[in-house]
Structure 1
Amino acid sequence: MRQGVLAFPLTSFTEDGEQVDVAGFATHLRRHLDTGAVALFVACGTGEFPSLTEQEYRTVVREAVTVTAGRAPVLAGAGYGWAQARRFVTIAAEEGVDGILLMPPYLARGSQSGMVEHVRRVATTSELPLIVYQRDLMALTAASVAELSGLPAVIGLKDGHSNFLELQRMQLAAGSGFLWFNGSLTAEMQYRPYASVGIAPYSSAVQSFLPEVSRAFFLAAREGDQARMDELLQGFFSPLVEIRDRVPGYAVALVKAGARLRGEQVGPVRAPLVDPDGSDLDDLAALIETGLALVR
């Protein structure tokens, strides 16, 4: 996977939220590709994986592989308990994806041995490379990561806990060749602490509605332009986090609302997520204009 912006596309729904809007999704994917995304992680958190049926998941994954046509690797989310996660991995493999992002087990807190076994069961489903996403109820130890790194299919870990002491232990335990990703919410805000422990790649939700700002930050980070990073963090990303933290689920809902404000046909979020309205939507619209002004 080459260096660049890692995109986590939205899943487009019809206006009533009842069906996947395939045409809208295809347009959204092309915009990601045309604005320089180097990999597409579809049907993941930003893509509302937990709200998708198996058939909808297949539709989303198939469309992503078709539209991308080799321009960038396509990775698909998979999750829930290991038996169901294997079903999603099988579907993704049938549709020709390049890898899997394994989401945390849903509402199930397991022991370390249980979480390792969960990943092992999924990782042996196919030969697809698999990245483990730890966040929420899934918090691995260095010993567990060392064990997982020995599985042929497990190539890396995306971290959403931001426990840097434990991350250092994990990195030492996993050894060289294992991939690491900053998976914190609004990851640009934590780029520096992650980069300080050697984890530069990050997921950019902002890429889904304001790729101009997403790419500007990536370029500033790559070039070590601290002043430019500060300008973008203070002027755009920090205010975005303030709006994001007003309502649970806004980490996804704001992104989708931002895409709609910019004219994309992505539809609403599905409950239990709620779309922003009123002053939250007004503040987001104003912040988008601020972000665009910062990159003109």
Structure 2
Amino acid sequence: MGVLGNSSHLLRRRRETFMDWSKTKTIFIAVFLILDIFLLMVFFNKHSASQFEFIQEASIEDKLKSYNIEYEKLPEEVSEETIITAKTKKFTKKETDRLLNQTVKLSLNQLILDSYLQKPFKLGEEKLEDMKSFVESDVLFGDQYRYWGMNDEKNIAIFYQHYDNKKMFENKNGKLEIKLNNNGEIYAYSQTLLENLEENGKSESILSAYQAIETLYKNGLIKPNSKISNVELGYYTVVTELQVLSPTWYFKIKNGEKTERMYVNAFDGSIYRNEENS
């Protein structure tokens, strides 16, 4: 019995030792597994962070290139500009009397001038240049307008008033519409004008053209494979009633068959957009 008792006791001790080792081994495996998972998480977090930093640090040029977005050479200088104020002009009979060989009608509030030529004005081979010459010589305050583009559906050439050699984009109160007949001749025009244009407040730094494009990009307004053109700094009306105009970047963005006009306020980055038509 003594020998059997000792053998049984020894066997029990071995079992306990084996079980203790199994538990210890299981604990070690669990610890190493947790450690591996932790290290993997650290690695992936660092990798993701580095990728994020790369995206954040990528220049707007690289971002546009990666999405096959084309653009023309952009103005690089960053200037200082100021808000301007103006009021809508009322045309007078004394002014319209200076218009020869034209039948002129004024709206009731005298803010809109409509003129019909007694004889259509023929345009030569340099149609745009001839049109500009007509505007300067035969339209009241014609030297204050700049050509914008054609509305082919209505056969109308659009001009907008300018200040400091910058256009007042899509301003219905500073707009000139030159109307053409089926022979491509000027037969009439409609005109509005802003007056008493004044700079209001101190000049401040504005967004560059690159920063304005980046604003459009971050807001998802420039799709892959787009083309950006006609980049220009001008003025856009931000308060209609008082005619308050802010420096604004203009972009024409074409994607497939769709073309949009985008405007970015050069002070605060506000975005205005319109589908292309005059």
> How would you bin the TM-score normalised by the shorter chain?
under 0.3
Q: TM-score scaled by structure 1?
A: 0.21
Q: TM-score scaled by structure 2?
A: 0.22
Task: Say which structure is richer in strand.
Answer: 2
